[in-house]
């Protein structure tokens, strides 16, 4: 027999329940973790942007003395605490998350848009309502849910625990270039769902602002840039897009058939071109803009990489060719190996 019901309730419904003493936010099932200010800001930006948030689980029971229905939050306490606090001017959305409404409390939002307060109040939250379910049954529900959960990969864990400006920039650039990743078969649709596109983008951003680093250091940079990111994000977006455009022109929609579609080789190509255009801190190769060199010439030079991979008689390869091939097959994401690959590609293009 079904003992739950899926419904949607507006933020205004939760406000009314809270004001009437019909919402219980501290039941025994809840974890005691407290969200950071950036996490709270990120959630409210999600709501203001009209995007969905995860489902909330509530156990509904009747208080015989007051004859009121009590809604006990089984899962989603921190989200609801955040929402209720924002509605009562407890904090403002960060400008890093929302340029339009950042720095404003809920009561001030109508100064920017007279409709936004109503839109927030009417925002609907999906709820699974557990009707008169016992404690053991509630615990069994969550045990079953966790049994079907896919284990988070490293990038998914990072994204779940960071909400700063670096994360926002990496997410945005990864998503805006979705068609590029898929069309060129750099990242599959399945891997996009597992946030490998975000991981790739974050990895490239680190190289842009701090030089080529090991892929293992991505988590460290998320932590380092959680509270502050002293770079012009609009400029980085422009430069990132410029390199993607250069790559598209160099390969004329044939990247998916070339060796550069391999993620680790693509990483080195991107960083090489970025160095040629803007400079990379720990690369020493000569810098010549692709436009000055000529797209046709640069494209023809890069065909050598396909030759290195395809040549069956490896004795015909130069010592540098063999080293590049080795660097594409072993320790492919280590700092030193990445630097060698980009230095090699720079010479291939410019000499």
pLDDT digits (tens, 9 = 90+) for 42-83: 999 999 999 999 999 999 888 778 778 889 998 889 999 999
Phi-psi region of 54 (alpha: psi -120 to 50; beta: other; left: phi over 0): beta
- Please tell me whether residues 125 and 176 are part of one structural domain: no
Q: What pLDDT shows up at residue 16?
A: 96
Mean pLDDT, rounded, for 192-218: 96
Q: What pLDDT shows up at residue 88?
A: 95
Q: Quick check: 231 pLDDT over 70?
A: yes
- Please tell me whether residues 135 and 273 are part of one structural domain: no
- Please tell me whether residues 256 and 305 are part of one structural domain: yes
- Please tell me whether residues 45 and 173 are part of one structural domain: no
Of 147, 165, 195, the domain-final residue: 147
Phi-psi region of 113 (alpha: psi -120 to 50; beta: other; left: phi over 0): beta
Mean pLDDT, rounded, for 131-141: 81
Mean pLDDT, rounded, for 302-324: 94
Q: Quick check: 187 pLDDT over 60?
A: yes
Q: What pLDDT shows up at residue 36?
A: 86
Burial of residue 320, with CB atoms counted within 10 A of its CB: 0-12 exposed, 13-18 middle, 19 or more buried: middle
Distance CA 192, CA 201 (A): 12
Burial of residue 109, with CB atoms counted within 10 A of its CB: 0-12 exposed, 13-18 middle, 19 or more buried: buried
State if pTM tops 0.75: yes
The more confident residue out of 325 and 134 is 325
How many domains, the chain? 2
What H or E segment, with its residue span, contains residue 273? helix 263-277
- Please tell me whether residues 225 and 293 are part of one structural domain: yes
44 DSSP assignment: H
Distance CA 118, CA 123 (A): 9
Distance CA 234, CA 240 (A): 10
Q: What pLDDT shows up at residue 1?
A: 56
The answer to whether the beta carbons of residues 240 and 172 sit under 8 Å apart is no
Residue with tokens 């058939």: 257
Q: What pLDDT shows up at residue 147?
A: 76
**What CA–CA distances, in Å, run from 148 to 142, 144, 145?**
10, 7, 6
- Please tell me whether residues 135 and 16 are part of one structural domain: yes
Q: What pLDDT shows up at residue 29?
A: 67
Residue with tokens 């200010």: 37
Half-sphere exposure (Cβ direction) of 253: Cα atoms closer than 13 Å: 1
Min mean pLDDT across 126-135, 169-178, 204-213 is at: 126-135
- Please tell me whether residues 271 and 341 are part of one structural domain: yes
- Please tell me whether residues 289 and 196 are part of one structural domain: yes
- Please tell me whether residues 262 and 115 are part of one structural domain: no
The token pair that represents 303 in the structure block:
């065909």
Q: What pLDDT shows up at residue 140?
A: 81
| 320 band by pLDDT with thresholds 50, 70 and 90 | very high
Distance CA 83, CA 44 (A): 7
Mean pLDDT, rounded, for 124-149: 82
Mean pLDDT, all residues of the chain: 92
Q: What pLDDT shows up at residue 212?
A: 98
Q: Each residue of 259-300: pLDDT tens digit?
A: 999 999 999 999 999 999 999 999 999 999 999 999 999 999
Min mean pLDDT across 14-18, 152-156, 321-325 is at: 152-156
- Please tell me whether residues 164 and 267 are part of one structural domain: yes
- Please tell me whether residues 193 and 168 are part of one structural domain: yes
DSSP E strands: which ranges in 27-180? 56-63, 68-75, 124-131
Domain hosting residue 62, numbered range? 4-147
Min mean pLDDT across 162-171, 320-329, 334-343 is at: 162-171
Q: What pLDDT shows up at residue 34?
A: 72
- Please tell me whether residues 133 and 239 are part of one structural domain: no
Q: What pLDDT shows up at residue 2?
A: 62
Q: What pLDDT shows up at residue 228?
A: 85
Q: What pLDDT shows up at residue 32?
A: 56
**What CA–CA distances, in Å, run from 137 to 29, 74, 131, 143, 191?**
12, 12, 11, 10, 35
Distance CA 64, CA 14 (A): 21
Q: Each residue of 77-116: pLDDT tens digit?
A: 999 999 999 999 999 999 989 999 999 999 999 999 999 9
Q: Quick check: 249 pLDDT over 80?
A: yes
Dihedral sign computed on CA atoms, order 245, 226, 46, 151? positive
Of 147, 179, 213, the domain-final residue: 147
């Amino acid at each position: 027999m079904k003992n739950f019901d899926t419904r949607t309730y507006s933020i205004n419904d939760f406000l009314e329940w809270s004001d009437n003493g019909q919402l219980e936010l501290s039941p025994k099932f809840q974890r005691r973790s407290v969200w950071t200010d950036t996490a709270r800001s990120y959630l409210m930006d999600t709501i203001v942007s009209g995007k969905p948030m995860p489902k909330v689980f509530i156990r509904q029971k009747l208080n015989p003395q007051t004859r009121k229905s009590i809604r006990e939050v089984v899962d989603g306490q921190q989200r609801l605490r955040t929402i209720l606090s924002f509605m009562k001017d407890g904090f403002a959305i960060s400008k890093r998350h929302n340029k339009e409404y950042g720095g404003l409390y809920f009561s001030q939002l109508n100064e920017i848009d007279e409709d936004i307060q109503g839109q927030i109040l009417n925002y609907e939250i999906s709820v699974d309502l557990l009707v008169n379910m016992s404690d053991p049954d509630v615990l069994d529900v969550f045990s079953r849910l966790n049994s079907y959960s896919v284990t988070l990969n490293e990038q998914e864990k990072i994204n779940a625990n960071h909400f700063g400006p670096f994360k926002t920039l990496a997410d945005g650039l990864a998503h805006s270039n979705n068609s590029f990743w898929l069309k060129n078969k750099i990242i599959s649709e399945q891997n996009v769902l597992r946030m490998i596109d975000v991981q790739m983008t974050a990895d490239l951003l680190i190289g842009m602002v701090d030089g080529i680093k090991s892929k293992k250091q991505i988590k460290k940079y998320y932590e380092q840039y959680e509270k502050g990111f002293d770079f012009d994000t609009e400029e980085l977006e422009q430069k990132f897009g410029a390199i993607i455009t250069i790559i598209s022109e160099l390969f004329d929609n044939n990247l998916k058939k070339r060796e550069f579609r391999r993620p680790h080789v693509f990483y080195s190509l991107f960083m090489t071109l970025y160095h040629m255009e803007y400079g990379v801190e720990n690369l020493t190769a000569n810098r010549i803009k692709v436009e000055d060199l000529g797209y046709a010439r640069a494209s023809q030079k890069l065909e050598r990489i396909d030759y290195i991979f395809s040549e069956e008689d490896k004795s015909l390869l130069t010592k540098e060719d063999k080293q590049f091939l080795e660097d594409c097959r072993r320790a492919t994401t280590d700092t030193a190996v990445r630097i060698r690959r980009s230095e090699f590609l720079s010479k291939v293009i410019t000499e």
